[in-house]
Amino acid sequence: MEFHSQARHRFDNGIISLMPYTSEQHSLITSNIAGELRQLFKDSQCRSYSSDRMLYVSVCNQTFYPDVMVVCGPSDLYTYKGKMQATLNPIALFEVLSDSTQHLDRTRKWDCYRQISSLRQYILVGQEAMSIEVYSREDDVNRWAIDLYTDPDDFIPIQGVQLPLKEIYRNITFEAAEENRSDQEELDQDKNT
């Protein structure tokens, strides 16, 4: 079904459903991350894939389509069905949070993702505000440190490169921030009259 389909599907707890629609902001953030990583990794053995690359987590016997996936060195592949091959060995996975997916990103996906032995980082990217949570594996155990990045001048370290937040959020406007700025400008004008 997936190999010939125009749409992507997810299989979750025995239920097949269409992958949810993504907003323009979600798509732009995903493109920004994958594009910037492609540039940063151009002289290395690492590469980034966008959300059309399938990931298979054998421990959970599930496939996923992370928003961005980073693989370093040769890809370990799993023949999923027929000619379909899924990646087995990401070192970093990005999910852009949305109202319809963030619960799944923080629970069932995370429960499976952290079982991937090659995974070093799981990055949750906000699209309503500049806010990025980075879960980093400590040593080779299943213990994870969490860091929060909110400053446009911050950089996220990934496999020897520095991913700038300002590039992740390039050409992104936050509605709440715009509304607050407009409200503040209106208050300032009232004070001056």
Q: Name the band, by pLDDT with cuts 50, 70 and 90, for residue 82.
A: confident
142 falls within a domain: yes
What is the rounded CA–CA span in Å between residue 137 and residue 85? Answer: 26
Over residues 94-106, the mean pLDDT reads 93
Q: Which residues pair with 150 in a beta bridge?
A: none
pLDDT band, residue 174 (cuts 50/70/90): confident
Task: Flag whether 122 is in a domain.
Answer: yes
CATH of the domain at 131: 3.90.1570.10
Question: Strand 121-125 to strand 132-137: parallel, antiparallel, or no bridges (unpaired)?
Answer: antiparallel
Task: Judge whether residue 39 has pLDDT over 70.
Answer: yes
Q: How confident is the model over 119-166, as pLDDT tens digits?
A: 999 999 999 999 999 999 998 778 999 999 999 999 999 999 999 999
Residue-number span of the structural domain to which 59 is assigned: 9-192
